[in-house]
Amino acid sequence: MTIPAFGLGTFRLKGQVVIDSVKNALDLGYRAVDTAQIYENEADVGQAIAESGVARDKLFITSKIWVSHFAGDQMIPSLQDSLKKLRTDHLDLTLIHWPSPKSAVPVAEFMGALLEAKKLGLTKQIGVSNFTIALMKEAIAAVGAEHIATNQIELHPYLQNRKLVEFAQSQGIHITSYMTLAYGEVLNDPVIIEIAKRHAATAAQVTLAWAMQLGYSVIPSSTKRANLESNLKACELTLTEDDMAQIAALDRGHRLTNPQSVAPQWD
């Protein structure tokens, strides 16, 4: 089962704001939705999906296990709680959200528990998020690369994470890019703006198309229906080799997400 190239992110959205965002997105044709336990919006996302009328088997729902639920006896109950909130009997993809702080819970323990959840039918696929190459190697040793569907990482024109991407792809592990628009910074980038002009597109469409053209999945979010609709059009945009090379040259290791409580030693 492949991970959709394009989906809806819900980070930092709660209450009626996230309900409206998800319902608008599904109405526009989005079929993949990404949430997480720590976002505290799973119940809202579940409500929006229920009210949308879109059949469950047409959707791809992803959530992420928070670090406080990593211990072997807590993982599955926490996932079951997420399922109740999301009003579904399974997820399509369940991720480990961040590495265990100070390795309090061994990678083998939480990956083993997540694999057990997959075997129980609580999730169709499992994966990781914010994992370095070293941590990915531990996860692979624990459950096998064939059971790790993706590594969801911060990846945008200013932080292209090439070494990690190369390793993941060598193991057959898909890359999901979050924060693809770099918190909106790319929208004012003169190189991307110029490419957008040539294609009669927006800077956001160009950046999302760039990531998808590299084979990554993207999960942009928006509270505005017009932006949700516009972002979706990135799926129809094809960039030239020169466009791709110009965006590749923007990489400068500019990391935006680095929470000290959970962030690993980055590659």
d(CA 171, CA 163): 13
216 is catalytic: no
Closest by CA position to 109, among listed 155, 157, 141: 141
- Neighbour-count burial for 17-47, b at 16+ CB within 10 Å, e otherwise: ebbbbbbbbbeeebebbbbbbbbebbbbbbb
Q: Which of 30, 39, 178, 216 is catalytic?
A: 39
Query: How far is CA 135 from each of CA 96, 138, 186, rounded to the nearest angstrom?
Result: 12, 5, 29
Amino acid occupying residue 38: I
**Bridge-partner residues for 9, per DSSP?**
34
d(CA 259, CA 165): 21
Catalytic amino acids?
Answer: 39
